[in-house]
Structure 1
Amino acid sequence: MGTTRDEHPNAVIFEHPLIRHKLTWMRDETTSYRPFRALISQIAGLMVYEVTRSFPVREIEVKTPVETTTGYRLAGRVTVVPVLRAGLGMAEGILEVMPEARVGHLGMARNEETLEPALYLKKLPADLNAGPVILVDPMLATGGSASGAATLLKAAGVNDLRMICLVAAPEGLKRMQQDHPDLTIYAACVDRQLDERGYICPGLGDAGDRMYGTV
């Protein structure tokens, strides 16, 4: 289970030993793209259990081999929205747990001079308000891409939005608290700070490059 901290009231930080173990493996610069890709998927799958804790359910009747009983289904249509391209690895892990979830896509590239995002792709279900939406992006650095994505999703009709990231910077969490105080961010850890290039320190490098072997 995750915990909140006074300095980051909008974030739930995971302190599970298994997540810490896997995240440390990801940080190691000698970890190649194949295990890196598997780890990012595995951690997302572990985190989504806690993220979905408050999802509404509806009762249904189900017939077992013995008798008819009451069961439960998720009440809304869940949509996972990865920010390309690194978010795709997290989406895969979540779909292992919730294969019935839909997937939207947002392509956002960071301008390396302004550190602000530019949208180049948007492919979303028409009825995003039909259930919870989970925004996924491994790295929450400046918060520019995450804030832009959240603004776009809200404009598209999302009523129940939450975000999962692996590594967050304090600067990104502060930006999200200012721009989207109603949005809960689930993070595997909060790192120390951003460097002058806007990279998270100590971080784990460029998640997309490391995941796809394009370092």
Structure 2
Amino acid sequence: MSKLFVSEHPMIQSKMAMLRDKDTGAKEFREIIHEVAMLLSYEATRELPLTDVKVETPITTADCKVIDTKLAIVPILRAGIGMTDGLLNLMPTAKIGHIGLYRDPETLNPVEYYCKLPSDIEERTVFLTDPMLATGGTAEAAIGFLKEKGATKIIFLCILAAPDGVKKVQDAHPDVDIYAAAYDPQLNDHGYIVPGLGDAGDRIFGTK
């Protein structure tokens, strides 16, 4: 079973209070999403593989370690874009892909309408981002599409998760770890996380 990591870091908890506040404006909301994503990616990169290297210092040589995997950041359009810059602050050499999905009104199944990934995606550790993990349908489908394109190591990052979404992803993709800044207990009748923070995409882009 995949791991669910929910941050208890004081900085993240304090910033989550600002994200939840209905009076937080779009500019500040975007900035806080950026900051929380960066802090969360610090935790999500903790177990990346390392290799030994020797480095010439101004005095002598030092035995050091460097990350031994290529990295990719793949936001789910559109809200996942709001987390990208935060991750890039920590891993500036990562390549960026994008996945766009919509829900078919008849079948209710997610349908891919856009997918652009690094050509060597199968060689990279992929950080898939979407602020909200509510029902889990979009995340489950996006992970499936990544695997179809050759990705084998995928880590899912979200700002806020709910039990339904976590279960759906873990049941479908037990090899994908989930990192969340916070975890709320339920969804309402419209599929929104409760108490939640509203529609993350609308609040990021000021379209609410």
TM-score range, shorter chain: over 0.9
Structure 2 runs not aligned, ≥5 long: none
Contact kept? 1:140, 1:172, Cα under 8 Å: yes
Name the TM-score, length of structure 1 as normaliser.
0.91
Counterpart AA for 2:5: V
Instruction: Name the CA shift for 1:34/1:13 in 2 (closer, same or farther; >3 Å).
Output: same
Q: Paired residues, what number?
A: 208
CA distance in 1 between partners of 2:76 and 2:110 (Å): 11
Deviations 1:160-208 (A, max 9, x none): 1111111111111111121111211011111121111111111111111
Measure how far apart 1:149 and its partner are. 0.6
Counterpart AA for 1:163: F
Moved more, 61-70 or 131-140: 61-70
Identity across the alignment (%): 45
Corresponding position of 1:4: none
Instruction: Name the CA shift for 1:88/1:174 in 2 (closer, same or farther; >3 Å).
Output: same
Corresponding position of 2:155: 162
**Aligned counterpart for 1:102 among listed residues 92, 95, 107:** 95
Corresponding position of 2:23: 30
Measure how far apart 1:50 and its partner are. 1.2
Instruction: Name the CA shift for 1:198/1:111 in 2 (closer, same or farther; >3 Å).
Output: farther
Contact kept? 2:127, 2:157, Cα under 8 Å: yes
CA distance in 2 between partners of 1:64 and 1:114 (Å): 61
Q: Is 2:77 the partner of 1:77?
A: no
Moved more, 61-70 or 44-53: 61-70
Counterpart AA for 2:16: L
Deviations 1:91-134 (A, max 9, x none): 11000111011111011234578654222110001211212111
**Aligned counterpart for 2:179 among listed residues 182, 186, 189:** 186
**Aligned counterpart for 1:201 among listed residues 194, 199, 208:** 194
Secondary structure class of the residue paired with 1:58: strand
Alignment of 1:1-215 (within 5 A): 10-110=3-103, 116-215=109-208
CA RMSD of aligned residues (A): 1.7
Measure how far apart 1:70 and its partner are. 2.5
CA distance in 2 between partners of 1:110 and 1:189 (Å): 26
Structure 1 runs not aligned, ≥5 long: 1-7
Moved more, 83-92 or 109-118: 109-118
